[in-house]
Amino acid sequence: MTTATSTPTSTIDKNALFTYALRLGDDALILSHRLGELVAHAPELEEDIALTNIGLDLLGQVRALYTYAGQVEGKGRDEDAIAFLREERDYKNLLLVEQPNEDFAHVIARQFLFSAMSLPFYEALAKSSDETLAGIAQKAIKEVRYHVSHSAKWVIRLGDGTEESHRRMQDALDALWMYTGEMFVMDDVERAVLDAGIGVDRESLRATWNDTVTTVLTEATLTTPADGWMASGGRDGRHSDHMGYILTELQFMQRAYPNMTW
């Protein structure tokens, strides 16, 4: 992974920038892990490769983001230490990405709802005054554009498919909708990084996201769920029950064989 290294600007609180890079990395890591669980379990061989490819794209983004987070933090932690050696409360990912692979429709809904936010997010981050984050974003845009297209086509196929595929796709969207609000929340960390000219105004992404989602769901003959109560807590490390199981599997090798490499 080669990304230009820039010195964080002095006006930004180092902790906020560290947390910001960590949040983005954690979103990608946990979603990548969920996709990794599908290796050899996707409904078709070709889709198996497609989904795990998306997982690998995300993992590439993780590596760059964690490496940068480690540099900003300045305590000598590398990407592996950050990925494998933290407690559950220290992971700051969105609750959406940790939701389980209930069925293929859930996998596709989760991917589509997340990627449709991720694309405008990285397009905005590409203009960041932080050269490293801008560089990571520029590379990610091309990958995420494909993630949106791939998942959107599946939403349409399933929604406008058979009676059962339509029902499953709608159920998945209804179930995951309450995790979408968290993607657009601006808390102190997000504000600090935005004010420093580094971060993205997540509230401004909502219109683009709504457009993408509505267009695709309409073509898929699906109903856009109504905004109701929205779950949150992931950004502060308060996770759903699923997170512990994910980390047990994700961290197993490093916990069983500390400092192992391959």
Partner 1 sequence: MSRKDWPLFEIFLRSRNGLNHKHVGSLHAADADMAIENARDAYTRRGEAVSIWAVPSSAIVASDPSDKDAYFEPLAEKVYRHPTHYDIPDEVKNI
Question: How far is the C-alpha of 230 from the C-alpha of 237, rounded, in Å?
Answer: 16
Min. distance of Cβ 221 from partner 1 in angstroms? 17
**Do the Cβ atoms of 251 and 80 come closer than 8 Å?**
no
What sign results for the dihedral spanned by CA atoms 84, 85, 89, 90? negative
Min. distance of Cβ 217 from partner 1 in angstroms? 18
Query: Taking the CB of residue 228, how many other CB atoms lie within 10 A of it?
Result: 8
Give residue for tokens 């061989």. 45
Closer to partner 1 by Cβ: residue 44 or 241: 44
Min. distance of Cβ 160 from partner 1 in angstroms? 12
- Of the candidate residues 39, 49, 207, 260, the single one contacting partner 1 (CB under 8 A): 49
Query: Residue type at 61?
Result: Q
> How many residues of this chain bind partner 1 (CB under 8 A)?
15
- Of the candidate residues 90, 164, 188, 195, the single one contacting partner 1 (CB under 8 A): 164
Q: Does 188 bind partner 1 (CB under 8 A)?
A: no
The closest alpha carbon to 1, from 20, 23, 28, belongs to 28
- Of the candidate residues 2, 162, 259, 261, the single one contacting partner 1 (CB under 8 A): 162
Q: Which residues bind partner 1 (CB under 8 A)?
A: 44-47, 49-50, 53, 146, 149-150, 153, 157, 162, 164-165
